[in-house]
Amino acid sequence: MTRASLAERQARLEQQRARLQREEAKVREAERKARTRRLIEAGGLVDKAGLGETEANVLYGALLEVAGRMGDPAQLSRWETAGGQAFDREARAKDAAREPLILTLAGAQPALVTTRLRGLGFRWSKVLQHWEGLAVYDEARIAADELGGTLRRVAPPAETDTTAPAAASPDAAE
């Protein structure tokens, strides 16, 4: 067995140190991105609550008061319930205005168009070669008109009345 020279061992240690520094930098970058995401989400919630235009001192004072009440489990439960109900109401209101639609466009679309269509609630059907999804009709109509496409509503499945007797078919009378 040959022993590595001192220079070889130092080179190997330098490589290990560089690898560890790269890994450490990746961890720091991931932590920085996670923190940035949390801050953006918190800012979005402040805005969603209608406090986005509140003076900084007032908002900070209110948040300090909330932070002081974080130790009260009953208060946390009330806040959690209220927040969950608000999110549910918003989701139902958003979904209530949406309906199943199909948008047909000629040819491939640039990335900006596909991003816009996805934002409206559409997805591309490779099999049927059209855009389909749940979207607000008026918004989708505007996009279809601007892009020179055709938009059509998809009728929801007919509800069957299980209490009424089935109508006899014309063939059964013969």
- Predicted confidence at residue 120, as pLDDT, reads 94
Rounded distance between C-alpha atoms, residue 32 and residue 40, angstroms: 12
pLDDT level of residue 91 (50, 70, 90 thresholds)? confident
pLDDT higher at 170 or 2: 2
Residue 167 has pLDDT above 90, yes or no: no
Rounded CA separation 145/142 (Å): 5
Q: What is the mean pLDDT of the chain?
A: 88
Asked whether the predicted pLDDT for residue 163 surpasses 80, the reply is: no
**Dist CA 40 CA 42 (whole Å):** 5
Sign of the dihedral defined by the CA atoms of residues 61, 64, 66, 72, in that order:
negative
On the CB side of 42, CA atoms within 13 Å amount to: 9
Among 120-129, 137-146, 164-173, the minimum mean pLDDT is found in: 164-173
pLDDT of residue 111: 92
State the pLDDT at residue 155: 77
15-37 pLDDT per residue, tens: 999 999 999 999 999 999 999 99
C-alpha separations of 53 from 48, 49, 56, 57, 58 in Å? 11, 11, 9, 12, 10
Nearest by Cα to 102 from 72, 122, 75, 132: 132
Q: What percent of the chain has pLDDT over 70?
A: 88
pLDDT attached to residue 99: 93
